Amino acid sequence: MNQMSGAEAVVTMLQRYGVKHVFGLCGDTSLPIYDAFYRLDHGITHVLTRDERSAAYMADAYARVTGRVGVCEGPSGGGATYILPGVVEANESSIPVLALTTDIGVSSRGRYVLTELEQKALFRPLTKWNDVVLQAERIPTTFRQAFRAMTTGRPGSAHIGLPFDVQRQPVDEAVLHADSRHQAYPAEPVGPDPDALETFVDALLRAANPVIICGGGPVIASAWDELQRLAERLMIPVATSISGKGAIAETHPLSIGVVGSNGGVPETRAIIEASDCIVFIGCRAGSVTTERWRYPDPDRQRILHIDVDPEVIGANYETEAALVGDARLTLAAINTCLDKEKHEAPTRALDREKIAEMRAAKRRIFQELATSDETPMRPERVIATLTKYLPDNAVVVADPGTPCPYLSAYLQLQRPGRSFISNRAHGALGYSLPAVVGAKIGRPEAKCVAVMGDGSFGFACGEMETIQRLGLPVTLIVINNAAFGWIKAGQRSGFDQRYFSVDFSPGRHAQIARAFGIEAFEVDHPSAIDIAMQKALDADHPTLLDITCQPLHEANAPVSEWIA
């Protein structure tokens, strides 16, 4: 019987699940695993990060662009607590991220050892699946359970705790087998119930002016072909949540774009109001997408719902018909059902002409500000310039503060698929700078751009060392307005401009970037942004743009409560 240590078994199980990259940060309790990474021939690249939060955010973005499990790791104590924000973000966004945390030895528990805490209890409410391995012989089974849980059904995150002494115990090499079905997600997708399918299609065909609202489900399931086919054959406009950007090309004549309180505008809301039936697909119908459940209006609009998670359906709206299943398989089944009856596209009041009028009105408002030469620069000018020079294969990662509503509303995706990422589940600042590292490593052929406010920059600027060390030709765009702008705008709109503890000193972000060895550009006037943007995006090395912009509380951001 060939044996290896528990730490070697961990590395071997990762290898057998096809893991190519692990993002993490070293610690005392991780020494056996780090030694196993050093000694074994495994083909895995370990990416040293400067913060465990960053490691989890990198793994999250990596998983989103690759369709494979993202893996992050950290040590006991502070490492385990620091890694939590990325783990819960991935779980609530239905992204499979495996967090490996090492721990004090099992034999040392209850003896006031430095960094001791109850990791299983800590991670339980934040993950889809979670365990701490107490015996090394359980490592193979634990990894198989974690990968199966992360990739099947509604994907989500998992956590495995690895005590120090368990990493040194022996494991029989013969039991180190992996299930190849669970290397990518969504794994083992399921289609809808046939009887429910007929009911759903009948309800859909009775709608005079239906509108589809897609969440992240169709993007995760790669359901864009099936979605476009359904929309075109029944002439149904398609809107998305922020997470749903990419479910349909936003240049498609049936695309409305993002709706809701963050990224939606009055013109897109009007399309939702004019509908008699809303079809949610892979969307939780949460507070942002529905503007706190006002659009759609449950008193006058029928609701149909498709989701892989049955607990989502009916949680916020009384639902007339529903289908539980993978978005791609379910939409394919609907199209097959319609094929049998040879249904043609009906005449709709919400037709392509109406959508074109809405899009034109939205564009006119944007263009007026995007072409303004006023200072401080309008955020719309930044988005328009970025769009002008952005390559077709680009991936844009947006932090949830200032950049998110502008990019959601006005960055028009030319094709379907995962090319826009924002951490919409919990909206923690400091996401995009590390996440762009994971995006670039996962999709090296793409130009990857992170857009953040200066508040977010302060959370994660240490990862510029990681970017420079790895030589990643990513572009960082910092919106410089010396405030936590989202909160300040909320104080303006809802609290009579009583601004409290939201302003900080203006940063010289370009100088900070240069100190890390990154080429940087400072832009404080609209006349300078074109040249700087083009140089930054064309570079074959890391770059940063520090752009002084109009503060969010003074801007015309596409956020419904501020517009009102």
Q: Where are the domains of the chain?
A: 3-182, 194-354, 371-563
**Residue spans of beta strands (DSSP E) within 299-412:** 302-307, 321-324, 395-398
Return per-residue pLDDT of the chain as tens, 564 residues: 689 999 999 999 999 999 999 999 999 999 999 999 999 999 999 999 999 999 999 999 999 999 999 999 999 999 999 999 999 999 999 999 999 999 999 988 888 888 999 999 999 999 999 999 999 999 999 999 999 999 999 999 999 999 999 999 999 999 999 999 999 999 999 999 999 999 999 999 999 999 999 999 999 999 999 999 999 999 999 999 999 999 999 999 999 999 999 999 999 999 999 999 999 999 999 999 999 999 999 999 999 999 999 999 999 999 999 999 999 999 999 999 999 887 777 889 999 999 999 999 999 999 999 999 999 999 999 999 999 999 999 999 999 989 999 999 999 999 999 999 999 999 999 999 999 999 999 999 999 999 999 999 999 999 999 999 999 999 999 999 999 999 999 999 999 999 999 999 999 999 999 999 999 999 999 999 999 999 999 999 999 999 999 998 999 999 988 875
CA distances from 352 to 234, 357, 358, 538 (A): 12, 9, 10, 36
- On whether the 194-354 domain is CATH 3.90.1300.10, my answer is no
Sheet of 543-548, strand order: 420-422, 395-398, 448-453, 475-480, 543-548, 519-523
The domain 371-563 is placed in CATH, from the list 3.40.225.10, 2.40.50.140, 3.40.50.970, 3.40.640.10, at: 3.40.50.970
Report pLDDT for 1: 66
The verdict on pTM exceeding 0.75 is: yes
Q: Distance between CA 220 and CA 418 in Å, rounded?
A: 8
Q: Which residue has the tokens 């609530």?
A: 92
Report pLDDT for 344: 73
According to CATH, the topology of domain 3-182 is Rossmann fold (3.40.50)
Report pLDDT for 563: 77
Q: Are 3-182 and 194-354 in the same CATH fold?
A: yes
Instruction: Give the burial class of 527: count Cβ atoms within 10 A of its Cβ; 0-12 exposed, 13-18 middle, 19 or more buried.
Output: exposed
Q: Distance between CA 33 and CA 54 in Å, rounded?
A: 20
Q: Quick one: tokens of 264?
A: 């939606």
**Residue spans of beta strands (DSSP E) within 25-180:** 45-48, 70-74, 97-103, 129-132, 158-163, 170-172
Which among 213, 215, 247 is positioned nearest to 229, based on CA atoms? 247
Peptide bond into 376 cis (omega under 30): yes
Report pLDDT for 241: 98
Report pLDDT for 26: 95
Look at residue 280 and give its three-state secondary structure.
Answer: strand
